[in-house]
Structures are given as C-alpha cells and as structure tokens.
Chain A
Amino acid sequence: MCSDMVTILLIILPLIAGLILFFLKNEKRVMMLALTACLAELIVLIYCLFHFSPSGGIQFAMQQYWIYSPDVRFSIGLDGISITMVLLTSLIVPLVILTGFRRQVRNPGAFYGLILLMQSAMVGVFTSFNAVLFYVFWELALIPMYFIILLWGGENRKSITLKFFIYTLSGSLLMLTGFIYIYLSAAGSHSFELSGFYHHSIDRGTQSWLFWLLLAGFAVKMPLFPFHTWQPDTYTVAPAQGSMLLAALMSKMGIYGAMRWLIPVLPAGVAEWKNVVIILAITGIIYGSVIAFRQKDMKRIIAYSSLSHIGLMAAGLFSGYLVALQGTLFMVFAHGIIVTGLFYISDIIEKQTGTRMIDQLGGIRNHAPVLAGFFMIIMLGSIGLPLTNGFIGEFLIFTGLFQYKLIFAALAGITIISGAVYLLNMYQKTMLGNENKLTASIIEIGTSEKIVLFILSAIIIITGLFPQLILDIGSSAVHGIVELTSGSL
C-alpha cells in the first residue's frame, strides 16, 4: 500500500460505502455492507497503527493544492492524536451499526448511509491539517447528524434539531472567522496550514478576543457550560444510535479541536482566559452532576453525566499540564466507549419495557443477569473505578489539575466522585429491587447484544489494565502541543 494514500483511504472508504447504501433497500444487505466497510476501515487503521511511529510527527501525510488563491490546501495526515481519535471512531461506528441488528429501522439504507457519511467526515476532521479543510469536514459531520435526528428522532424533534443545528453552526461560523483572521496574520506568505497557524505574530490583545471566536466553535460542540443548552434535549430526542454517535464522537470533536486548533495556536489568549474556561468547565461538572441526580429519564441522566465528564476533560485540557492533556486524550477515548455502552443499555431496556423512567423499572437482574453484569462493568467504568479505563483518564487529569491549582482539583474531584451516586442510583432502581408489571416480562439479551456489550466491556477493562496501549500512541504528539504553549504559559 502506498503510504501517503492511506489517510485518504480512511476518509473515502466510508464515504463510498455510505453513498452506495442510499440505494439499497434490503435491511440485511445494508447491514452486511455497512459492517464490511467498517471492518475494512478498521483493518486499514490497524495497518496504520503497525506502521506508525508515535514519535514521528505527522505521518501518512498528503498535500495537494485545493484553491490557489487564497491558498487552501488539501493536506491530511495522521499524528498520535489523530490516530487515537480515528481509532475511537472506527471502533465506535461498527458497534453502533451492530446495535441496530434486527431493530428494523425505517429506511435502513439511508440511516446507515448517513452514519457512514458522518464517519467519513469525522475522520476528515481528525486528520486534516489545514484550517479550511478542517472547517469543511467539521460542518459536513453535522449534516448527517441533523438528518438522523430529524428523520428517526423522537417527539418534538423539529424544533430541537433546528436549535441544535443553529447553535453548532453559529459556533463554527465564529470559529471560521477566527481562522480567517489568523490566516491573514500568519507570518510570511499567508497560510491556512496548521504549521502556519503555529507561527503567526498576533499580539496579546488580539489573541485575547480571537480566543473567544475559536472557543465558540469548540465549546458549543463539546458542549462546555453555558453553551450546552442544546445538548440534553438533543441527546434525548435522537434515536439511540444517534445519541451514541453524538456523545461518543461528536462531542469529542470539540475537545480535539480545542487541543489541536486553539491551545497551541493562541497561547497568549489561552494563558489569559484559561482560568475562566476551567471555572466554566468545573461549573459544568457540578451542574451536570446535580441535574443528573434529579432526572428520572435514563437518557437524560446519561446526557447530564456526559456533560459533567466533558467538563472534566475541558478542565484538564486547559490546565496546560502534560499529564492532564494526556489524561484528556485518554479520557476522550475511554468516555467514548463507556457512553456508547450506557446509551445502548438504556435503549435495550426501553425497547423491551417501553419506558426509560427509572421509577417505573426494577428487578431486571432477576430476568437478565448477563445484561445486569455488563451494565455493572460499564457503569463502574463511568464512575471511574480503578481497573477500568474511566479511572485512568480521571486520575491523570486530577494529577494535572492538582499541580495547576489545588482548588480546581478539589472541586472537580469531589463532584465527580459524588457524581457516582446518580449512576449507582440508576443501576439500583433499574436492575435491583422488586420487579413490576413492566419488567416481569423482560427477557435476557440475545447474541448480538452480548457481542456488542462484550466488546465494549472488554475494551473498558483491557485499556484500564494496560492504559499504555492507548497512552503511548498519543503521548509524543501531546508533548509537542504542550511544548508549543510552554513559551507563554
């Protein structure tokens, strides 16, 4: 395989498969093709991982002119951070597709086609090293999601999707404005290349407001408190697979974007505002936990818990400490896996009983012990119990925050730990206790459900026991980012 074509293959493979899927009607064939494409993608990625040297900077790179003037290039490649994100994407998407097995989605060709188109755009986001290209992929990832929620979502989806769309688009357009400004200020010949963005001569005062333009795009996507108001509704109204993609992958685009396109690009702006952002992030952690505790709907609980975890990642990211950044990258991966599992379990329960309200459920473990077991592992991962991958990320971030400011670490730590209460509560109310009319008829999960949950749990435990598997891939690239910022921090 020609090495510079690998990255483009990673983008094109799901794109082509997705487009073909639109023309297929038969659900079985659709699933087969979608899964084959995902597996092929995974194989290509594994090939990359074997030929990847973590300290080697950007590899499998390709650069072509797209527009001569103003200079925009189609430049893609993989470095440690990218490949971690692409790995997460290529693990989650096939699992998400598998969760639809025998679910009889309406118009399956379009549904899975959109998922693959989204995967293609998302891989584009994680591999592009040109600001305009990054922006184009960033928007392209949004459009399939919009249609997935609008066409297969729950009640009241029209106004919620419109809010979601306008929110995220307004953030990204402000981000685009920021990019154009940086492009025009880049030293020497103007350039949209990431390397050009790292060498500009923007003074401190300008960086200070430019910071907010860029942050708008990333903060809405994450979402960071107080830009989060679209999130709980959207997660709840989206079809289960949509929620998984949103929480596991799309929100991570925000973290990734800030890590690559904000923190090293505007170090002076970050230095000026990072305490504000960390305070917002910690407010989000507390807010998410408190609200989650008051919720009855499983999906809403997961949505708010996700908000809280994203807050922790953002806090770690902006602390600027190497160990916290590595923790953030690891947690992006870990949380992606865990939240997929949580949404899947809530969906399994809803499909069988017709409700997601934890008050109306109980005693499911009596009938479905395997489901309860998997739920336990995934929930413990989410709480961050040692030996699960949830622990590693949180631990590293706390270490970094600790070094940065004790009060931040203390606030975030206490909340995240006490946040375990609502997850335990959810587990207790649904799985334990007495069964009732709704849960009496529940049956044990089938093979396909077992496979998905097994893979998720296995990843949670394996990467929890051997975190170096993931940490090693990205550590050198994260180190590079910290070095770029260290001058002004």
Chain B
Amino acid sequence: MTVLIILPVLGIIMLYLGLLKSGRSLLPVAITGLLAASVSLVFEWGPARHLFSDMLIIDHYSVAFSFSMTVITVIILLLAGQYYRGVEFHVAEIYALMLFSLTGAILMVSFSNLAMLFIGIETLSLPMYVLAGSKKFSVISNEASFKYYLLGSFASAVFLLGIALVYGTTATFNVQGIAEFVNSRNGVVSPLFLAGLILILIGMAFKVAAIPFHFWTPDVYEGSPTLITLFMATVVKTAGFAAFLKLFSGCFSQLTGFWQPTLWGITALTLIISNLVATRQNGIKRMMAYSAISHSGFLLLAIISLNSMSAGSMLFYTFSYSLASIAIFGVLIIVKNARGDEGTVDSFNGLNHSDHFLSLVMAVALMSLAGIPLTAGFFAKYFLFVGAIKEHFTWLVIIAIIGALIAIYYYFRILTAIYFHDGDQPELKTGIAYKTAFVICLIGLVVLGIFPGLGISIL
C-alpha cells in the first residue's frame, strides 16, 4: 500500500521544508503529495490482499475510507493557508503532524490484527494531542491538549486491557482468528472474553465520543485551534467509526446478543442528551462539538444494525458529514477572524446582507446536517434508518428522529441569525482557496443529495 509510504515521507519532507524556512512551498507540496496519495489509493482498488504477515488487509472497505479521509484532508489543507498566515511560526510541524495522524487513520481502517489497530489508534492520537495544544500561548488550548491527552491515554489503556483479555482467551490478535474462535464455541465464550469485549467497546465509545464517554469532547473541540477541531470532527471521527465497524463486524458479529443491548443504550443516550445540550450552547464551536456527538449517535445506528448496508451507509454519512463540517468551520474561521471574537450564534447576525455566497454555503451545510432532502445529509440519515429498521431497531430510529428534530432547532438558530437578524458584519475576506473548498463542499453535498447512488453503491 503505497499510501502508507507516501504519507510519512511527505510528513518528513514537511519537517525539512520547515527547517529550510521555505514556508511558501509547504502547502503546495502537501496538497500535491496528498493528491498523489489519493491517486495511488485509486489503484489499490481490487480484490482483498493481506500485507505485512497479515497485519493489514487492503480491501474495498479500507481503500474507500482511506480515499475519503485523504480527500477530506486535502480540502482542510485548502483552508490552512489563510488560517495560519502570520499567526503561527511552526506551521511545518503542524502539517507534518496532521499527515502522521492521517497515516494512523489509514492504519485504523486497514487493520486485520488488534495490535495493528492499537498502533493505528496511537499513531492517530499522539499527533492529535500535540495539535490540540498547538496554539502555544493560549491557556484554553493547552487545557484542551492536556485533557485530551489524559483522557485519551486512559481510554487507550482501557482498550488495551480489553485486547489483552480477548487475547488471553483466544491466544490470537488476528481478527479472523478471533471470529473463528467465537464460531467454534457457537457464541458461548468465557466471561473473560466478554469482559474484554466490554472494555474494547468502552474504548471505542470514548474515541468516537459517545455518551457517557463524551466528556472530553466539548472542551477539546472548543479549546483546540479551529482548523484542528475540524480535523478532529472529520478525519478522526471517520477513522474511529470505520475502525469500530470493522472491529465489531469482523470479530464480534456472533455475539450481537451480548453487546447490542449495551450499545442500544449508549446510542439512545447519545442521540437525546447531545442534542438537548446543544440547544443550550451559544458558542458555535461548543455547539458543533455537541452536534458532532449527536452525529456519532446516528453513526452508531450503522454499527448496531451490523448488516450488509452498514459499511456503505457509514461511508456515505461520514463523507457528507465531513463536507458539511468543512463548510461550517470554514465560514466560522472567516467570520471569527474578521470580527475578532470567539464565534457565537450572534456573530452570524446579518451575514446574508454582507455576503450572499458564505450564507448560501452555511445554509446548504446546515440543511445537510439537519437532514433536509436534496442535500447529502438526508440520504445519509435515510440509509442508516433503512439499515436499522431492517434489523428491527424501529424504536431506536424513532429516538434518532426525535434527536434530529431537536437538532433542527439549533441548526436553524444559526440559519435565522444569518438570514433574519440584523447585525453589522465587517468586510469579510474570502480567499480563492476558501472559495475553492466551499465550492467543492457545495457541489458534493448537492450532487450526493440528488444522486445518492454515486456514494452508496461503492461499498
């Protein structure tokens, strides 16, 4: 898998370019490298292959998710140029860390061995801990980094203990091996294995920020630099969920009777509480943090239903969610910079009077998050619902619908602020890179909303 070589090398090139103080060439090189990586991924498409003595498996699932995350990273980097201009001195390190993190994300979606999954999670997380605190002189950014690090490593430890317990009973780290072990016992396994399974579930629930393991999310999202928050909400979330699904469909699909009730409760809590709390938020970043948790709730529907549709609908959902997030955070960056404030709902007052394009971008992105038809978000939710109802989780779908309705309230609060409140907006500067990123997001959201078959039929 060439991409696993391209990305770390690209990261190291970034570091050297930083040493050589050639700040200007950073972004073009990074973006070219990532595009090369995505092209190389296209050529990986084909029958499943096992790599590195069966540590990794390269199949349609891993290639599709890797491709999606690489593309999302490219669009995020389009926003990076203007974001870091004149603010940050060590930009090269930031880009390098993002690339290393992406490498971890790709390992997470391609593992076929639990040890590899753990390495993937750590490769993803360690750079993220640093990036969360990359606004070096901001106390709140430092706090975010510290909190993320402490809680994140705690969750990793729990996860690792779970793996150890599973290994203790099955004597293998291999996904296939664990599944065969469970099969050979007809789904009756020792309590040790089940305890391990629960610990793994908790570890994953922490990584994807499901309630009640979500407490780090609002603070970390709020404290981290906005661009890093965006990276967390998109690439990190996609990787977490793809790994979650791969792990549970690969190892534990025979034990659904055991873990489904637990996950049912987690999903229901996540859907209701996150949306309720989000309605009380005024800061956009905190609101988006709770909104991210609520979308985790929707994505958990794909894991709990665990059928042939899960992978496709998860890919569709994470991709359309990422596009919408990029649009919203991108506009937030512009508005925050121009106004010099923290970015609350009121910061968007009267945006439509000063900039129609940005308002349109926000409107489409918010409608997609809310799941209004003809945006990608509608079909993303629709596919998840079909999958869940197929497995008779009708009640969970009704809870999800209630969550979605509460969500309308706070998404439309922003929308009303943009279109119907009066307010003074300073001159907003939208660079060409931002425009490109927004246009890509808009086209993506609308095209996937009208022709959802393009996305759903991949997996």
Binding site for B on A (CB under 8 A): 65-70, 132, 135-136, 139-140, 143, 150-151, 158, 162, 165-166, 169-170, 173-174, 176-177, 180-181, 183-184
Contact = CB atoms under 8 A, between A and B. Distances in A.
User: Which of A132, A150, A158, A173 has the most chain B CB atoms closer than 10 A to its own CB?
Assistant: A173
A65 B452 CA distance: 12
A460 B45 CA distance: 65
Contact of A181 (B309, B389, B401, B419): B389
A474 to B, nearest CB: 28
Contacts of B382: 132, 176, 180
B186 interface: no
B85 to A, nearest CB: 35
A158 B408 contact: no
User: Which of A70, A151, A174 has the most chain B CB atoms closer than 10 A to its own CB?
Assistant: A70
A169 B371 CA distance: 11
Contact of A166 (B372, B394, B398, B409): B409
A66 B451 CA distance: 7
Majority SS at the chain B contact face: helix
A136 B401 CA distance: 16
B372 A143 contact: yes
17 contacts: A67-B453, A68-B457, A70-B383, A70-B386, A136-B374, A139-B373, A140-B373, A150-B419, A151-B420, A158-B420, A169-B405, A169-B408, A170-B401, A176-B385, A180-B386, A184-B386, A184-B390
Contacts, number: 69
A150 B374 contact: no
Interface string B31-60: 000000000000000000000000000000
B405 to A, nearest CB: 5
Contacts of A136: 373-374, 378
Contacts of A162: 409, 412, 416
A177 B401 contact: yes
Chain B interface residue bracket vs A: 20 to 34
Contacts of A69: 456-457
A125 to B, nearest CB: 12
A180 B389 contact: yes
Contacts of B351: none
Given A67-B453, A180-B397, 9 more contacts: A67-B379, A67-B456, A68-B457, A132-B382, A151-B420, A169-B405, A180-B386, A180-B389, A184-B386
A308 B285 CA distance: 47
Nearest to B416: A158
Nearest to A192: B386
A179 to B, nearest CB: 10
A69 B389 CA distance: 15
B412 A173 contact: no
A394 B402 CA distance: 38
Contacts of B390: 184
A140 B397 contact: no
Contacts of A66: 453
B309 A70 contact: yes
A34 B401 CA distance: 37
A118 B309 CA distance: 34
A78 to B, nearest CB: 22
B15 interface: no
A173 B408 CA distance: 12
B404 interface: yes
B374 A177 contact: no
A135 B419 CA distance: 27
B373 A173 contact: no
A69 B394 CA distance: 20
B453 A183 contact: no
Contacts of A65: 453
A381 B386 CA distance: 46
Contacts of A183: 386
Contacts of A184: 386, 389-390
A140 B389 contact: no
Nearest to B450: A66
B257 to A, nearest CB: 21
B394 A181 contact: yes
Given A162-B412, A184-B386, A177 B394 contact: yes
A202 to B, nearest CB: 13
A154 to B, nearest CB: 14
A177 B456 contact: no
A151 B390 CA distance: 41
A32 B420 CA distance: 28
A89 to B, nearest CB: 19
Interface in B259-274: none
Interface in B398-421: 398, 401-402, 404-405, 408-409, 412, 416, 419-420
B453 to A, nearest CB: 4
Contacts of B385: 176-177, 180
A66 B453 CA distance: 7
A139 B389 CA distance: 21
Nearest to B453: A67
A174 B412 contact: no
A136 B394 CA distance: 21
A169 B457 CA distance: 28
B414 to A, nearest CB: 13
User: Which of A65, A66, A151, A176 has the most chain B CB atoms closer than 10 A to its own CB?
Assistant: A176
B416 A173 contact: no
B314 to A, nearest CB: 15
B456 A173 contact: no
Contacts of B404: 173
A372 to B, nearest CB: 38
A87 B354 CA distance: 42
Q: Which 6 A-B pairs have the closest CB atoms?
A: A136-B373, A173-B401, A67-B453, A139-B373, A180-B389, A170-B405
Given A67-B456, A177-B401, A150 B389 contact: no
Nearest to B312: A69
Contacts of A177: 385, 389, 394, 397-398, 401
Contacts of B386: 70, 180, 183-184
Contacts of B397: 177, 180
Interface in B342-374: 372-374
Contact of A165 (B379, B389, B401, B408): B408
Contacts of A139: 372-373, 378
A437 B370 CA distance: 50
